Chain A
């Protein structure tokens, strides 16, 4: 965050005498608040109020069309004892463990390649970025087709053409494979975004740092380890936080491709919350799930920032 003190402060202050009284202060700030009002109103109404409302709902057996009953912590107790909820929590963590490193590694590789390519860089960048701008609904439908276990193109290429798998894989039908399969698709979709962000980070590294290291006789790998990696640390931190949030957000792809199946092996916290709220009309339970999830999310994000900050200190 940039420092505020560097800027001439308070434009409005220039027009009012110092030590203003309440009325004058009101007059001074009124235009500013008026200016903030429309956007802030929408924000407060559709984000902050729902946030508070969900908290309240989570203590009720919520009835949308009649009086609701206060049940204290029962929804939370139910969630913590619900094997499907626990499984969904584990699933999103596994999903993040696959999709985040995958996007980081391939994204960095793509960024390094794009960075060293002089010609056609924009062209390749566009190709890598196309999956990012393609809607999740379309990507999910497309991969349902490609992942078909008996006649899909992916099995065909991996087995019949490349012979790298021992037989056709039941991508979306096998409890042990379905979640990783969706995570692989996520890697494919996310590489472009990760690469562009890495590219931005790479371009902030001054070229003369590399030149100096070269003069000192540092090899390519040494330069990568001693210069590129440490100087990319802030970018890396940003990416990890964003990608983990993204992985935890997983909903559409599961909703469309497997509906959480087979046997809840691809159930994510959000699909489970959605089912409870909108298929079982248990809004209070859904709200409790989303609150537990928000809490977890927050703790993880903070922990990531802390750990990564400490790492990048030296």
Chain B
């Protein structure tokens, strides 16, 4: 019996390790290539370990190619739009969870319906709108559009606000506190774990956004990392060492955020599924 359980366990771990290797192999090639000197890295057999490891590719990308600027642009845009998204969507979610008012149901369902839309189908009218509002070719234009992804977070946060015990809110309400106090002083601190989830989600989405930035930005000083990366690849063709060094600059912050906050992250994803 014991032996069988041991065999079972070993089998599970064997499969897990196999799966993990398959999942990690592409990253291995990316890192190895980025750490190798020489521009021509397409070779058979491919290297599984860097020959003559060097950080030169990273230095070249960061210094000679303005990636510092792109990094800053991405950071500004992703942070600002995340703050806006979290505040605005939590305000709406809180109102939906705690109040009834005329128009509540239609508004909520309209938001839910738009979740089914591929976001990109709106890019044509959004482009026209941004042109008319002079928001093309500006970081604000990016921020506004990224902040419009509110419905998903309203949907996620509403459940959390509903789960906050009523007596806590009641205690505050007795003092005659208004809607703002209730939201800012009582609910927001209590919803901190949920807000963390939403913050991470939103930040990653904004950090990685490609298509709107590609379409609306034409000034190279305003490029964000994803589009800079795509142009960079176009210019350097198959100098994959440089391309992957640049890619890692884009990916490493995201992976760092994920690894540090993954408890919140996974919890948020799980609850979205269970609630949905």
Contact = CB atoms under 8 A, between A and B. Distances in A.
The answer on direct contact between A and B (beta carbons under 8 Å) is: yes
A248 B118 contact: yes
Nearest to B267: A200
Given A43-B151, A193-B269, A113 B121 contact: no
Nearest to A134: B251
A65 B254 CA distance: 40
Given A32-B95, A142-B29, A200 B274 contact: yes
A50 B122 contact: yes
B250 interface: yes
A11 B180 CA distance: 13
A42 B88 contact: yes
A70 interface: no
Contact of B122 (A51, A128, A160, A255): A51
A153 interface: yes
A297 B116 contact: yes
A180 interface: no
A156 B131 CA distance: 48
B16 interface: yes
A42 B91 contact: no
Interface string B89-112: 101100100111110000100110
A175 to B, nearest CB: 23
The A contact surface, by secondary structure, is helix
B262 interface: yes
Contacts of B270: 196-197, 199-200, 203
B7 interface: no
Contacts of A138: 30, 229, 247, 250-251
Interface in A177-223: 188, 191-193, 196-197, 199-201, 203-204
A197 B273 contact: yes
Given A53-B128, A113-B16, A135-B254, A46 B145 contact: yes
Contact of B208 (A137, A143, A291): A137
Given A11-B182, A39-B92, A290-B121, A141 B144 contact: no
A142 B89 contact: no
Contacts of B251: 134-135, 138
B30 A142 contact: yes
Contacts of B3: none
A89 interface: no
B252 to A, nearest CB: 10
B19 A110 contact: yes
B91 A39 contact: yes
A200 B29 contact: no
B118 A293 contact: yes
B42 interface: yes
Interface residues of A, number: 103
A26 to B, nearest CB: 11
Nearest to B48: A153
Interface stretch (A77-85, A97-105, A269-277, A306-314): A269-277
Contacts of B274: 200-201, 204, 235
Contact of B100 (A10, A148, A249): A10
Contact of A151 (B42, B92, B255): B42
B12 A135 contact: no
Nearest to A239: B273
B207 interface: yes
Nearest to A251: B120
Nearest to B131: A64
Contacts of B159: 2
Nearest to A293: B121
A238 B178 CA distance: 37
A233 interface: no
A124 interface: yes
Given A45-B129, A127-B24, 12 more contacts: A35-B95, A109-B19, A128-B19, A128-B20, A135-B250, A136-B210, A142-B26, A153-B25, A200-B271, A251-B211, A252-B211, A274-B123
Interface of B: 12-13, 15-16, 19-20, 22-27, 29-30, 33, 42-46, 88-89, 91-92, 95, 98-102, 107, 110-111, 114, 116-129, 131, 144-145, 147-148, 150-151, 154, 159, 162, 166, 169-170, 173, 176, 178-180, 182-183, 204, 207-208, 210-211, 215, 226, 229-230, 233, 240, 243-244, 247, 250-251, 254-255, 258-259, 262, 266, 269-271, 273-274, 276
